[in-house]
Amino acid sequence: MSTNHRTIGTVAAMLALLGLGACRNSEKAPYEGKRDTLATSTTPAGETAWGLVDQPDGGRREYPQITVEYGLRNHLAFGEPVVEQREIMSVTVPCRLLADRSEFSRVQYRFIFLKDNGTPLRDQPDWRFMRLDARQQVFLRMSSTDTAASWRLEVRGAR
């Protein structure tokens, strides 16, 4: 009988623990979004961004127009972009791989075209592939699908 009582006691203890766990509030509070300290394309000129901290020099920290993946940041150099603004916007950005000899890199790039209020156009171009040979300049080109006011370029390693 003592084995039977121990089994019943163990089962009762487990049920009690499970019951206590079920009584707790199982809803998890959402994480608060981190405030961006960069002025973005939607930040009006002359105003500070949501969460923007004062800069020691009194200037604004703007979101970069050309961004690269962390692993490529010291290996790529970009020239002065050429922007042709007609009914649609066309952008050409010279790019060079800072490597020696016969090294090369495969990258993907995409342009994001923005309206005059700083929001992205509805239709955006897909990622494009490019092989970059050492010390050779290539031109990353793209045209918007609609009237655009500005642009951004993102470059990452080929996937």
User: In whole angstroms, what is the distance from residue 51 CA to residue 48 CA?
Assistant: 8
Could you tell me the residue range of the domain that residue 81 belongs to? 66-157
Q: Let me know if 150 is exposed, middle or buried by CB neighbors in 10 A (0-12, 13-18, 19+).
A: middle
Per-residue pLDDT tens over the stretch 94-135: 999 998 888 999 999 999 999 998 899 999 999 999 999 998
> What tokens were used for 123?
């239709």
CATH of the domain at 116: 2.60.40.3230
Whole-structure pTM value: 0.69
Q: Let me know if 60 is exposed, middle or buried by CB neighbors in 10 A (0-12, 13-18, 19+).
A: middle
With respect to residue 14, please indicate whether it lies within any of the assigned structural domains. Answer: no
* Structural domain count, the chain: 1
